[in-house]
Structure 1
């Protein structure tokens, strides 16, 4: 059976919340920020909660994907092709994080592997059996922004890791 971990993280500004060490952060494939719901979404949440009040919460949990289906998706993703020049493109993006003056900590080799895997997954979700530069660009921010650390000076100026990664992507030429 596949081993998957999904986790939540409270904002660092909240009391009693501490940053995870870099080595632990590097083991999560993605970091996705979930914003507050808008008014309509909030009302929808309340309505669903109202419907569930009389039921056991466990009665309402349904299997979304079986372990077998997850394994078959993982195998499918390994069959997605990527050309050599796009492997170089991923490597250039990762290496650029290590020498960027706005970053205190760049991305690790594990990050480049994660960008590769996520790019293949995005290609498969788009119905393709090959990776495009757009798949790599789409994967880069959610895969990298929690793995790199902005220098304290730049952080005080309001620069975020997402800003730096976007700049790196924009300035990295796609090899031919």
Structure 2
């Protein structure tokens, strides 16, 4: 599995645009039901004559009721058994094969999406990218983001948004995700 190590090659504006597109993609994915758990983010580069790239995610089964150290150990054990590629997890999410049958995409980062017991909130997603960017977003039941924080500048449309402080970045869910990103990087 290839990792997008050199995000700096995109330049500041290209990185900001990628972060904005990824934020929009995570909001869209957070609107659905039944997609809770760990997720791994990928960027499929455009074809040589193409102008578009594709962002997609794969899901990894995860038991959020297990204590954090055991959950981290189980998640990393599963990824190691899959050769370090979350797309190859036995019995795993195969939706990626529709858009990336040759598994050419570059690994961008990992995250965790959970449904909320709050009747006004549909899901909350946290993620860490390989360039250390932290993302935190909460999607309401109307499908619109209630909270959207990105720890580095991002572009939405043509408007550059400043970086946010992601206060949850040091908490337990991020510790799990950071471990996975380190393993897959």
For this structure pair, what is the TM-score category when the shorter chain's length is used for normalisation? under 0.3
Q: Which has the higher helix share?
A: 1
Q: Which has the higher strand share?
A: 2
For normalisation by structure 2, the TM-score amounts to 0.24
For normalisation by structure 1, the TM-score amounts to 0.25
